Amino acid sequence: MKPVAQPTPDTQAWFDRIDQGSLTVPRCQDCDHRFLYPRMCCPACGSRAVELVQASGRGVVDSFVVNHRGPQGFAEDAPYVLALIRLEEGPRLMAHVQVEDLTSARVDLPVVVTFTERGDRRVVQFIPAEVA
């Protein structure tokens, strides 16, 4: 089976929401900064008043690579698109972008979130917005 990320105490609630099919981002209640990765303190102001808020699930590709030789557990999926996604809310995250045609992957491609089952967990992936 493909590996999945293992939650830490700071990321457990975020991963729990992903397992429920919900993408959230941490938001500082003091300065309104939204960020990823989840952590107990705001990276902008240091406040500990952090909450998870629902993300729209929409974003754009900021950068990407077509991976032709996947690591262990992913080799059978190659080639595939791994991208840096800038969410509508501002934070960025790395994720697989599921495209029918690898040549359709491009910077500024609008994407929407989708979730893929992996054992008893879910993982965040994206698809082009025009497919959704």
- 68-126, pLDDT tens digit by residue? 998 988 999 999 999 999 999 999 999 999 999 999 999 999 999 999 999 999 999 99
pTM of the entire predicted model: 0.94
CB neighbour class for 55 (10 Å; exposed up to 12, middle 13-18, buried from 19): buried
Q: Is the same domain home to 24 and 86?
A: no
Task: Tell whether 2 is covered by a domain.
Answer: no
Q: Has residue 110 been placed in a domain?
A: yes
Domain that holds residue 105: 56-132
83 and 62 within one domain: yes
Please report whether residue 105 resides in a domain.
Answer: yes
Instruction: Tally the domains of the chain.
Output: 2
Find all residues with CB under 8 Å of 26, minimum gap 6, and list them.
14, 34, 35, 36, 38, 39, 42, 50, 51, 52, 53
Q: Does a structural domain hold residue 3?
A: no
Output the six-digit token pair for 9: 């105490």
User: 25: part of which helix (H) or strand (E)?
Assistant: strand 24-28
Cis omega (within 30 of 0) for bond into 79: yes
Residues 62 and 82 in one domain: yes
